[in-house]
Amino acid sequence: MSIGTEEKVARNIIEAALEEGINYFDTADLYDFGENEAIVGKAIKDIREQVIIATKVGNRWDSEKTGWSWDPSKSYIKEEVKNSLKRLGTDYIDLYQLHGGTIEDPIEETIEAFEELKAEGFIRYYGISSIRPNVIREYVEKSNIVSVMMQYSLLDRRPEEEVLPLLQKHGISVVTRGPLAKGLLSDRLLEKASEKGYLDYTYDELHAILPLLKEKVATSRSFTEVALHYNLTNPAVASVVAGASSPEQIRRNAKAVKSKPFTELEISMIKSLTKASNYQDHR
């Protein structure tokens, strides 16, 4: 999502990822009106069989492209997949994800669309991108999803109690997004802090917690290492999507995950300093 629309710049970022051994590329029909899919498709065209392409569906741009509406209907999903395939320049999508969802959706109809696309060979697997526990439970019970993409970081530990154990129990992988909490968990720390705080952290709480985390856990690590390793420590997490807008960021992220994993003491320290919150609004 963060690689932009300048094709040469974007290609350099993707090539840096490939050089670092990254083979999972997550895009969506929503990003830059589909241009993101086209750029990704061109960049990996010659190595298509060596990479995993994930994209998403469900958000329909209006005719003026000033906004979008939610459409999880079978007819829309089965039509829109054709457009994604064309933009990506491929005849199959490795992982096709529902880009959101609510408990009021026609869930059985949505599942039917994905199952048919799988049977027809247009997609290999499907999943959902959601942080709503009630929606996730419905798909766990009724579908053959292989993954759930959700926001997760040491400043957003909401998935830990209610969702991650459920998905691990059912053998469904988690792809996490937002591991750096909008830059708060980078070495820039409070430079990225808003006066509104972050989720259920006030600005004052961030002002107290972030330096403590640096002192107790990040003495010999970058904050990026701490943030990415925290996600990867959870056994339910299969992949971490960390946005990057430059090759340098890609290389820093790759270096971070290749560093030594946490000790039990470090994990305990992080959990003692941060909040184990639950989902309130997103159900």
> Catalytic residues, which ones?
31
Give me the amino acid identity at 99.
H
Complete edge-to-edge strand list for the sheet that includes strand 24-26: 24-26, 52-57, 93-98, 123-129, 147-151, 173-177, 237-241
Q: What angle do CA 277, 281, 283 make, to 5 degrees?
A: 95
Question: Quick one: tokens of 155?
Answer: 């400043």
Beta-bridge partners for 116: none
